[in-house]
Amino acid sequence: MSTPAREMRREDRRDAILDVAYECFVADGYGSTSMSTIAARLGGSKGTLYNYFRSKEELFAAFVRRSCSELRHDIDSMPPEGDLRGRLVQMARHLLDHLLLPEAIAIYRVVVGEGERFPELTRLFYEAGPRAGVGRMGEALQDLMERGELRRADPMLAAHQFKDLALSGVYNLRLLGMIEDPTPEERTARAEIAVDTFLRAYAP
């Protein structure tokens, strides 16, 4: 084995710490979370925390990094089928599902709130999240434009507009905690509404 049992257990412990850190940072933010609280919830001691992370800042950075890599991993896969409208609705629905995940909302909240103090983490999140997502969407739309299914236009601009139409009236309210998580039916309805508007603007 390339990873001995010893190191395996160490990785597990590290993950357990990050799990607790996730809960704490998401609930209270960076400044209002203490290492003591994390240690207590972990059922361990602060000494152990500092054995795995050299400082609170480093633990916070590790928490953001892990959340970002999970975002990136989750964004993969999705081959839409059917007619044009049906495929776009699938894409919008996928976008909604992805960006409204409680974990995605939570990390966005933390990164925005703490962005002034941790700009490099904000950039990391941006690359893994919004940038990757819109980039993928842009490629898909460019493909549709080249095949004549959509009017020719700037694919990245269209991708941004597609994303913002899909999230219109939901995402920011969810970010502020002003609405509950939309039901599957509501998501589909919103995806269809967004696509209808988008198609009116981008039909050939």
Partner DNA sequence: GTCTATAAATGGATAGAC
Partner DNA sequence: GTCTATCCATTTATAGAC
For binding to DNA (CB under 7 A), which residues are involved?
6, 10, 13, 33-37, 43-48, 50-52, 54-57
Integer Cα distance of 198 and 162 in angstroms = 7
Of 49 and 121, nearer to a second copy (C-beta) is: 121
Instruction: Classify 78 in phi/psi space as left (phi over 0), alpha (psi -120 to 50) or beta.
Output: left
Are 87 and 197 in contact, with CB atoms under 8 Å apart?
A: no
Picked from a second copy, DNA, none, the partner binding residue 157 (CB below 5 to 8 A depending on kind) is: a second copy
Say which entry of DNA, a second copy, none residue 45 contacts (CB below 5 to 8 A, set by partner kind).
Answer: DNA
- Smallest separation (angstroms) from a second copy to the CB of 155: 12
Q: Tokens for 32, please give them.
A: 């209002």
Q: Which spans of this chain sit near a second copy (rule: CB under 8 A)? A: 26-33, 109-117, 119, 122-123, 125-126, 130, 157, 160-161, 163-165, 167-169, 172-173, 175-178, 193, 197-198, 200-202
Residues in the chain: 204
Per-state percent for the chain, helix, strand, coil, to nearest 5: 75, 0, 25
Residue with smaller CB distance to a second copy, 8 or 27: 27
122 binds, among a second copy, DNA, none (CB under 5 to 8 A by kind): a second copy
Per the structure block, which two tokens stand in for 58?
Answer: 């480093």
**∠ Cα 162 165 167 (to 5°):** 110
Between the two ends of the chain, the Cα-to-Cα distance in Å is 57
Which of DNA, a second copy, none does 36 bind, CB closer than 5 to 8 A by kind?
A: DNA
Helices and strands counted in the chain (H then E): 11, 0
For a second copy, which is the closer residue by CB, 37 or 51? 37
User: Least separation, in Å, of the C-beta of 78 and DNA?
Assistant: 39
Task: Tell me whether residue 14 or residue 84 sits nearer to a second copy (CB atom).
Answer: 84
Q: Measured from the CB of residue 19, what is the shortest distance to a second copy in angstroms? A: 18
